[in-house]
Structure 1
Amino acid sequence: MTKPGLPKLVATDLDGTLVRSDDTVSAYTHEVLDRVRAAGIRIVGATGRGPRLTSLIRQDIRSADFLVMAQGGWVLDQAESTYLRQSWLPGSTLLPVLDALEAEVGRLSLMIEALEHDEAPLWGDFDPTWRYPVTVLPRSRAECLSGDVIKAFVRSFGHDVDDLLEVARRLIPEHVASVTQAGLDYVEICPPDVTKATGLAVVAEAVGVDPADVLVFGDMPNDLPMFGWAGWSRVAVANAHPSLLAVADEVTLTNDEDGVAVYLDKLLSR
């Protein structure tokens, strides 16, 4: 049982929120998260990273009971080592979507995430703007989309990522695919009804926690759905995207200042 006045579940984004600009998580943050879990509060890592990065996710949020990955499409119960959700998007569905986008904004760079095993490569067009270490296997668009995929990353050569996201939201019906952006130069195209909110809802149902008892942290537009879903408090780090700062209940310090840990440390000290 958690103490009165505390949330029953804490979900935090990783990159740009829990993880610092040098791609590390401080010892202080790990220590605070351990104390949160010891207080009876479940911890969820909610990230855009796909299941191919499970080992890295576990390294960055060691105390997590659940991992919500791939923007909510894959949900892993760490204690049981079982997936509660695995979502796929038919490649054939993506073909007309990409055609519609390119008719509006011009040629797009495309990378596909289709494999779930740890450290699996992406397929498609390697792009030097990708800031993380990655192996990209060159494949034609037809080869990339010949089967089901976890998600697609698309980048415009002439449009800002927020502008591309606006176009994608206008052109792609929600029943066809979900679209978002997570701080890179890419818009991510995921299966329909895949958001961090729907992923967290799977966790909440599994453990019997009401959204009103969930505290969330984030920094980018892909965190907006869980900000709309959680009810205990929605906390943005100070370095967050303007769209998130506009709807946050509270703002903590930046990721480089361990803002999530500082907030939770104060919360436990009340």
Structure 2
Amino acid sequence: MPRSGLPKLIATDLDGTLVRSDDTVSAYTHEVLDRVRAAGIRIVGATGRGPRLSSLTRADIRAADFLVLAHGGWVYDVTDPQPLRSARLPGPVLSTLLDDLERAIGPLTVMVEALEHPDSPLWGTRTPDWRYEVVVEERPRHECVAGDVIKAYACSASHDVDDLLAAARSVVPPAVATITQAGLNVIEICPPAVDKGTGLAVVAETVGVDPADVLVFGDMPNDLPMFAWAGWQRVAVANAHPTVLAAADEVTLTNDLDGVAVYLDRLLSR
């Protein structure tokens, strides 16, 4: 059932949720978000994008007060260049983890995100079917895991991404790494205890907001931790992954029909 009143904080995923399939955010969406912020509600962009894409992220959600990046591993107050959270996965841990996965699953194509600076390249072997522009520096595996990383991407020629995710989670304990998928046909390997729920918890603690007062929007399995954490309402866009639709309290229109903005517009008009 729709909740009464208004939430104190709104967090939304970007790609596939706020951002349309053509990688744009409509003027209508920006206008609605501006009205949300004018109503005194804090806004958080919560995305799998790493800190190297913070400029793009700020452009896509201009009204945001905070950014939760890298699936929760990096958290920023947009007024402060220093992150509130900056988590990394040790290279030796990632190396062992990948060896364990390949013994159980078979060969993997791997890229790592090691640098947080704007527009930094990824390292490794470019994964097939990657839909976004990205510079990949081809490097052997041992070089990619020589230092700590923000996250890693892995795909398998013999496994669908959902099957790969399930298989990887059966091999890698949560205490070693958090593994998720965000719709890119790759699994994403993050530090332990890093997800959008724990990232939002950093924001909530910073501003003194209870999870019960947080409204969230999402579309992919990497959004499920913030669905589990937030208590005001959990809303999926109609194009969401089946697991997200099943976890949602409500379903709004697709990302291409500005479902987040339509929901918020109606919320403000009640």
Q: Distance in 2 between matches of 1:146 and 1:82?
A: 25
Q: Secondary structure at the match of 1:76?
A: strand
Q: Is the 8 A contact 2:127 2:155 kept in 1?
A: no
- 1:40 is matched with 40
Q: CA deviation at 1:89?
A: 0.4
1:13 alignment partner AA: D
- 1:221 is matched with 221
- 2:173 is matched with 173
Q: Distance in 2 between matches of 1:267 and 1:126?
A: 42
- 1:127 is matched with 127
Q: CA deviation at 1:127?
A: 2.6
Q: CA deviation at 1:105?
A: 1.6
Query: Are residue 116 (structure 1) and residue 116 (structure 2) matched?
Result: yes
- 1:194 is matched with 194
1:249 alignment partner AA: D
Q: Distance in 2 between matches of 1:192 and 1:106?
A: 23
Q: Distance in 2 between matches of 1:179 and 1:200?
A: 18
2:183 alignment partner AA: G
CA RMSD after TM alignment: 0.7
Cα deviation digits, residues 168-214 of structure 1 (max 9, x gap): 11111111100000001100000000000000000000000000000
Query: Are residue 250 (structure 1) and residue 250 (structure 2) matched?
Result: yes
Structure 2 gaps, min length 5: none
Query: Are residue 15 (structure 1) and residue 11 (structure 2) matched?
Result: no
Q: Distance in 1 between matches of 2:86 and 2:185?
A: 25
2:99 alignment partner AA: D
Q: Distance in 2 between matches of 1:24 and 1:85?
A: 28
Cα deviation digits, residues 218-257 of structure 1 (max 9, x gap): 0000000000000000000000000000010000000000
Q: CA deviation at 1:99?
A: 1.0
Structure 1 gaps, min length 5: none
Large movers: runs of 4+ above 4 Å:
none
Identify which range, 240-249 or 120-129, moves more after superposition. Answer: 120-129
2:7 alignment partner AA: P
TM-score after normalising by structure 2: 0.98
Count matched residues. Answer: 267
State how 1:142-181 maps to structure 2 within 5 Å: 142-181=142-181
Q: Secondary structure at the match of 2:84?
A: strand
Identify which range, 15-24 or 77-86, moves more after superposition. Answer: 77-86
- 2:267 is matched with 267
Q: Distance in 2 between matches of 1:220 and 1:80?
A: 29
Query: Are residue 5 (structure 1) and residue 5 (structure 2) matched?
Result: yes
1:106 alignment partner AA: G
Q: Is the 8 A contact 2:8 2:42 kept in 1?
A: yes
1:144 alignment partner AA: C
Q: Distance in 1 between matches of 2:120 and 2:90?
A: 19
Cα deviation digits, residues 58-81 of structure 1 (max 9, x gap): 010000000000000000011233
Q: Distance in 2 between matches of 1:102 and 1:116?
A: 27
